[in-house]
Amino acid sequence: MNVYPKIADITNTEVEIVPITISLDEAMTMLFDSEHRHLLVTDDKAFYAIWIFELLDYAKRVDAHTTSLKNINMKKLPAVYKQENVLKALKIISEGNEIVAVLNEDDSLYGIVTQVDILSSIDPDTMMETFRLSDLLKLKKRVRWVNKETSTKEIVRFMEVYDHDAMIIVEDRRPIGIVTVKDILKLFKCKADLSLPIETYMTTPVMTLSHTLTLKEALHFMQDKHFERIVTVDEKGLLIGIVTLKELITMAYTRWMKVVESYQSELYKINQELEEQNRKYEKYVGIDPLTGLYNRMKFLELFVSEYKIMLQRHNNMSLMVVDLDYFKQINDTYGHNMGDMVLKKVAKQMQETLRNVDIICRWGGEEFVVLMPAAEVKDAEKIAEKLRKNVKRLRFEQCPCNLTVSVGITKIYEGDELHSVVERADRALYQAKHEGRDKVKIFL
């Protein structure tokens, strides 16, 4: 099953990695210039990510000019290889990781996958149409909102302490603005006055969605608008909460896994049924249903295979035709059911008497053909005599008949085809019948 893209197909390869030896001050400058929320760091053994608030927190406690990144605690990025299925990255993202390092086969960095990359790769049809935003919001704590008079500095502190990436500004519980981590980053970059109320810097107006929308509809909206979060309201336009990419991804992952598990379960059942049908097909197409021996079609296939081996190894090979004597009288006297029982018992006796390598076929009616690999005619004759005697000893409770067989044997030559070999063996069989039956004869 390959319905999902490879991780390489959604990876952002245009990423800047900085060495772990740079100073904290240099790291903050790079972060402000890039306007990203995080910085990617490497020590040549692993890849790390450090977020803006983490940098700001360290800058308060250490000398940012002299302290290098190797002296601070950074989160090691989980990694996947670029040829893997996107489900692998989706699982990692859904477990709370915002970034995944994507590696080449030599463990060098190919790029990164973020929540946004994952979202853009999700097929909305995999989301449950019956689930609505309200169902998702029931699982969350009430969103934190603030008034427009709240100072920006207090907003920054709250976002830092509670690890929020966005805050909603409300008036009478109606969303009138939003501020995100990226907005805060820009304020730091331009050294804005953080003592001013948040209404000075908030983004307004706020685009909202009804909590009655399905997850599928919400996902479509986020894809179209390239939003990382959506603000939900009730029927009166009052704020209910925020749904983030992470939450939608978690829901999508859960749904995807159910789809995959369902598909794999169904596929397993189908494969089991097909295998069972194939076994039956092979059994009934290649095997005579009455005796359990090979039928003509399968015997021809095996003859061609053994003939090639004979030529390659310069072996001898013989063929015998075995025919039940006076079998028509058994059918006429005791019925076809008794005739079938006789055939099955003779087939079993042949399997017990002949070698394991010998290939036995019910040719038709009461006639059997045996291919004997690596057997000279004289060896075949000895085995045929043993078979003739063993069949003669067979007894049947409801049929007081003395069963015998006649056997014709021939050698297989280079250039032979099956019909020519059987024709020679039939001549030997005819000779055995002509001389009174219950005999083994050879025609070379």
Contact assessment for residue 319 and residue 371, using Cβ atoms and an 8 Å cutoff: yes
Query: What is the per-residue pLDDT for 2?
Result: 44
**From CA 12, how far away is CA 102, in angstroms rounded?**
9
Query: What is the per-residue pLDDT for 223?
Result: 80
Highest mean pLDDT among 52-66, 153-167, 189-203: 189-203
CATH architecture of the domain with range 125-251: Roll (3.10)
Integer CA distances (angstroms), 369 to 205, 321, 375, 389, in order: 91, 5, 15, 18
Q: Kindly report, residue by residue over 46-75, the tens digit of the pLDDT.
A: 999 888 888 888 888 888 888 899 888 888
Ranges 58-67, 222-231, 239-248, 416-425: which has the least confidence: 239-248
- The model's confidence at residue 392, banded by pLDDT at 50, 70 and 90, is very high
Query: What is the per-residue pLDDT for 277?
Result: 67
* pLDDT higher than threshold 70 for residue 285: no
Write out the chain in H/E/C secondary structure.
Answer: CCCCCEHHHHCECCCCEEECCCEHHHHHHHHHHHCCCEEEEECCCCEEEEEHHHHHHHHHHCCCCCCEHHHCCCEECCEEECCCEHHHHHHHHHCCCCEEEEECCCCCEEEEEEHHHHHHHCCHHHCCCCCEHHHHHCCCCCCCEEECCCEHHHHHHHHHHHCCCEEEEEECCEEEEEEEHHHHHHHHHCCCCCCCEHHHCCECCCCEEECCCEHHHHHHHHHHHCCCEEEEECCCCCEEEEEEHHHHHHHHHHHHHHHHHHHHHHHHHHHHHHHHHHHHHHHHHHECCCCCCECHHHHHHHHHHHHHHHHHHCCCEEEEEEEECCHHHHHHHHCHHHHHHHHHHHHHHHHHHCCCCCEEEEEECCEEEEEEECCCHHHHHHHHHHHHHHHHCCCECCECCCCCEEEEEEECCCCCCHHHHHHHHHHHHHHHHHCCCCCEEECC
Q: Is cis: bond before 373, omega within 30 of 0?
A: no
* pLDDT higher than threshold 90 for residue 240: no
Neighbours of 434 (CB within 10 A): 11
* pLDDT higher than threshold 70 for residue 259: no
Mean pLDDT computed over every residue of the chain:
85
**Mean pLDDT of all residues in 429-433:** 96
Domains of the chain: which residue ranges? 7-118, 125-251, 296-442
pLDDT greater at residue 61 or residue 405: 405
Q: Can you name the residues that pair with 76 across neighbouring β-strands? A: 48
Neighbours of 340 (CB within 10 A): 13
Q: Kindly report, residue by residue over 287-339, the tens digit of the pLDDT.
A: 888 998 999 888 998 999 999 999 998 899 999 999 999 999 998 888 888 99
- The model's confidence at residue 121, banded by pLDDT at 50, 70 and 90, is low
Residue 203: φ, ψ to 5°: -90, 130
**From CA 181, how far away is CA 197, in angstroms rounded?**
16
Q: Which residues contact 182 (CB under 8 A, 6 or more apart)?
A: 35, 37
**From CA 357, how far away is CA 306, in angstroms rounded?**
11
* Angle subtended at Cα 369 by Cα 363 and Cα 372, rounded to the nearest 5 degrees: 150
Residue 114: φ, ψ to 5°: -115, 180
Taking only Cα atoms into account, the Rg of the chain, rounded to an integer number of angstroms, comes to: 41
The yes or no reply on domain 7-118 and CATH 3.30.300.30 is no
Q: Can you name the residues that pair with 243 across neighbouring β-strands? A: 230
Contact assessment for residue 380 and residue 409, using Cβ atoms and an 8 Å cutoff: yes
**Mean pLDDT of all residues in 97-106:** 88
**Mean pLDDT of all residues in 229-255:** 80
Highest mean pLDDT among 48-52, 84-88, 177-181, 403-407: 403-407
Query: What is the per-residue pLDDT for 256?
Result: 59
Query: What is the per-residue pLDDT for 45?
Result: 83
**296-442 has the same fold as 7-118:** no
Residue 370: φ, ψ to 5°: -125, 125
User: Tokens at residue 296, please?
Assistant: 């003509």
**From CA 8, how far away is CA 110, in angstroms rounded?**
8
Is the pTM higher than 0.75?
Answer: no
The yes or no reply on domain 296-442 and CATH 3.10.200.10 is no
Query: What is the per-residue pLDDT for 14?
Result: 82
Look at residues 394, 401, 387 and name the one whose alpha carbon lies nearest to residue 351.
387
- The model's confidence at residue 1, banded by pLDDT at 50, 70 and 90, is very low
Query: What is the per-residue pLDDT for 405?
Result: 96
pLDDT greater at residue 114 or residue 148: 148
Neighbours of 365 (CB within 10 A): 13
* pLDDT higher than threshold 80 for residue 140: no
